[in-house]
Amino acid sequence: MKKTLYICICFLSFGNLKLFTQIEEMIIPSDLKQQTIITEPMTLRKGFFRAGISANFIMIDRLFNEDKKKDYVLGTNSYGKTWSYLLGLQYGIIDRLQVSVRIPYANNQYFISTRITYPSINYDTILAFKTIGRGFGDIEAGFRCQVVTESESFPSVTLGVYGVLPTGPKNPKNIKSDIEYDLPTGNGHASLTADIMLKKISYPYSLTLYGYYYYHFKGKKVMFPYEDAIEFKNGGVFSITAGFGFHLNDWIALVNDIGILTHTENTYYYSQTVESPGGWDLTYQPSVYFQIRKFRFFEIIQIPLLGKNGGADPIYSLNLQYIF
């Protein structure tokens, strides 16, 4: 009887051992590099390196006015379109700590065209100018740290700190007139951002909550042609965004973010201090991600829904990333 009992115990032990071994993770690094926006952790794993480029486009057409009404930009006789390109590099120092650098390149164009008529002297002409700003912008560098890893009941929590240095040109150049000159591509001031991001994965879904505060240091630059440089300080920016992402299939994911952003007034220290009003906006941001092995291509449209004293035009973003 004892012998039979021993055999049964041994059999059950082997069985359990086999069951236990079934949950051992058999993931190789190349698989981890192919994780999607839904399944990846919020920081790169140790030794992983990601490079990416993005192109963003906006046409300046409408804005939210002081009364929170979406209206067209009228009476300014100009329109603008902005392409900005961004080279982003990220590296995982350890599984929970990632450093990153972002180098922007701007291509801003503003068109001004006005017909001018003086009937009394039979004068009728069209003045058309194109103001361009091309060049590198302000470089951003920082780190992101995963302070809490995801568990069954709790999301992962990461904290990020990023600094922007005023490396781009900040003053107008090649001034031909007060409306014809080369636009600066830098902001002329340093900034510091602190953010927190929570993420919970429940395959094929993920939920994210993201908040940040952007602090701008005081700067000094020439605001408009023929003016002296003045000191200025942009207001702080606070934003909270909630996101819901899901897989459409194994390699295509759709992410829907909705966020609110507030910004306080900017101050310009002329002989008399001038302030531009603060405001806020509520945006919906759908994005579609294509994960093709280690390549990731994604498109984002940022659509302002409501707002006050801010832009009301959608921003388009095309992005390509590769993880080494």
Partner 1 sequence: MSVLNKIFFFFIFLLINYQILGQEDNSYDLLTERYVDRPIAMHKGQLQFNSGYEFSIINRKYDVSGKKIDLATDGSVSAKHLMPFELKFGILEYLQLTASTGYASIGLRNQNHNIGSSGSILYVSELTRYKGFNDLFLGTALTAPIKWHPVNFVISAGIFLPLFNHEPDKPEHSYTILDPTNGSASLIYKYNNKYSGGAMIGLLGTSLKIRTSRISLTGSFIYSTGLKDAKSVDWKFRLVENEFQYQKDEYQFNPGITINYYSEVAVQAIPWFTITSAFNGYKSSDGWSNITGKKVGYIKKSLNNLSLGYEILVSQNLRLEQHVILPVSGKNIMAQWAFLTGISLNIITFAD
Residues near partner 1, by CB under 8 A: 59, 61-62, 72, 74-75, 77-79, 81, 111-120, 126, 128, 130, 248-249, 252, 288, 299, 301, 313-314, 316
- Please state the closest distance from residue 134 (CB atom) to partner 1, in A: 16
CA 293 to chain CA mean position, Å: 24
- Please state the closest distance from residue 290 (CB atom) to partner 1, in A: 8
- Please state the closest distance from residue 252 (CB atom) to partner 1, in A: 5
Torsion 25-30-32-37 (CA) sign: negative
Maximum distance among all alpha carbons in the chain?
123
Cα–Cα nearest to 222, from 186, 198, 246, 196: 186
The answer to whether the beta carbons of residues 75 and 65 sit under 8 Å apart is no
- Please state the closest distance from residue 176 (CB atom) to partner 1, in A: 17
Cα–Cα nearest to 100, from 54, 150, 163: 163
- Cα–Cα dist 303/281, whole Å: 10
Q: Which residue in the block uniquely carries the two structure tokens 């390196």?
A: 49
The residue (of 89 and 288) whose beta carbon lies closer to partner 1 is 288
- Please state the closest distance from residue 106 (CB atom) to partner 1, in A: 18
The residue (of 161 and 248) whose beta carbon lies closer to partner 1 is 248
Q: How far from 199 is each of 149, 150, 206, 240, 241, CA to CA, in Å?
A: 9, 8, 7, 14, 12
- Please state the closest distance from residue 129 (CB atom) to partner 1, in A: 10
The residue (of 259 and 314) whose beta carbon lies closer to partner 1 is 314
21-46 in b/e form (b: 16+ CB < 10 A) is eeeeeeeeeeeebbbbbbbbbbbbbe
- Please state the closest distance from residue 249 (CB atom) to partner 1, in A: 5
The residue (of 143 and 290) whose beta carbon lies closer to partner 1 is 290
- Please state the closest distance from residue 40 (CB atom) to partner 1, in A: 20
The residue (of 253 and 261) whose beta carbon lies closer to partner 1 is 253
Q: Where are the alpha helices (DSSP H) in the chain?
A: 2-21, 29-32
The residue (of 170 and 296) whose beta carbon lies closer to partner 1 is 296
The residue (of 102 and 247) whose beta carbon lies closer to partner 1 is 247
Contact residues for 278 (Cβ-Cβ < 8 A; gap 6+) = 235, 262, 263, 264, 265, 309
CA 131 to chain CA mean position, Å: 26
* Strand residues in 48-190 grouped as ranges (E): 49-60, 62-64, 70-72, 78-94, 97-118, 123-136, 139-148, 156-165, 173-177, 180-182
The residue (of 114 and 273) whose beta carbon lies closer to partner 1 is 114
